[in-house]
Structure 1
Amino acid sequence: MVTGANRGIGREVVRQLYARGDTVVLGSRDHTKGAQAAEEITAGQDGGQLLALHMDVTDPAVLRSAAATVGERFGRVDVLVNNAAILYDTWQSAVTADLDTVRAALETNLLGAWQTTLALLPLLRVGQRPRIVNVSSEAGSLETMGTGAPAYAVSKTALNALTRQLAVELSTSGILVNAVCPGWIATDMGGPGGRPVAEGAASVLWAADLPENGPTGGFFRHGVPLPW
């Protein structure tokens, strides 16, 4: 299951998973856009199964409904990719930030991933080689952090902290939990000049495909650890 998957890195992750024969749930806040993306991905291409599902990660009722649908259709979730994110607020600084903007970023980028995980945790517990992949950013690294995009950066730092806590608490369940940074990718959020979206998806797929003895509670880009 991939959230925020009607465009950008999320969509590319879905495309690659579908193309290799996996069963994929494409979650999107706007179900019409998600359904359109699913149609475009499957058009003229053989693959696995692809289900477009309404998933507003800020709405617990919608998440409960999505979890129920997935449970009824598939009975389990093997991989959850918490990709949905908003507000790369490069126009702000910490001392002048609009805190309503900060709250909105936290609501999606942190709490959205958190409550999506909680909604799907029962299905992950019965999954095969279950993995949780939190799509983060090096902008959230405390070691390298300076100024700029405070809402986005702080929300990603918090997501990294959640990754560590979930990894410890789920360590006995076989669920590996990691954060990944795709790097600067040419998406609607990243803007022009970044690397191709397929390269950004590679970090996500690496974490989704970790073996049983793979790392948990880490922060990676292309399988290489990043500083917290």
Structure 2
Amino acid sequence: MASSSSVDPSIATEAPHATVTSERKQNPDLQEELQKPYLARALVAVDPSHPEGTEGRDPRGMSVLQQHAAFFDRNGDGVIYPWETFKGLRAIGCNFPLSVVSAFIINLFLSYPTQSGWLPSPLLSIQIKNIHKVKHGSDSESYDTEGRFVPSKFDAIFSKYGRTHPNALTKDELNLMLKANRNMYDFLGWFAAFGEWTLIYNLAKDKDGLLHRETIRGIFDGSIFERLQHDKKSS
């Protein structure tokens, strides 16, 4: 194995005097595992195991972030009302009180930025076509600011924080990621990231308390919501 001194400085991913760069490693072989991992994908959430995205999933011309949100558009009209958010949360396994509170908070904060004009929606509607406007900070940056999916950022979730299992996160590793991603004074982003990831962890962890890579990838394109809904119906 080559020593750190023999690594070309122009491609080095660790700095000797910045220990955090060696604690949170990157995958130097990602380019060999996935074509153009630096290229943000507009339509599909890809990784080395799914170079064409989720099998059998039709993006319907929507960005990956729009697909994530579209699950909660229960009637498919491009607009998400609080009662639809409530129904979506119930469909994936949230209890009644959590669904009520979460639906109100989600639509309260996301409604106005997604409106096409200056007037707020009296019904707190969320316009899916403008969902990129509510991307918050302190996140993994697996979505870019236009709602595309960035494979290299997604892969970094596991290369940096998946220390026990290379393709899964424990609860402690998830909390470490959330803390590491915090932007200074971005309290709204901290709260949003914590709420989103905690909800998904509690709903989709396996029996050993692991949140798997495929589950997390499914968060980004919304396919995990469909799986959770199917599992709830089956049970």
TM over 0.5: no
Larger strand percent: 1
Relative to the length of structure 1, the TM-score reads 0.27
Normalising by structure 2, we get a TM-score of: 0.27
Higher relative contact order (CA 8 A, sep 6+): 2
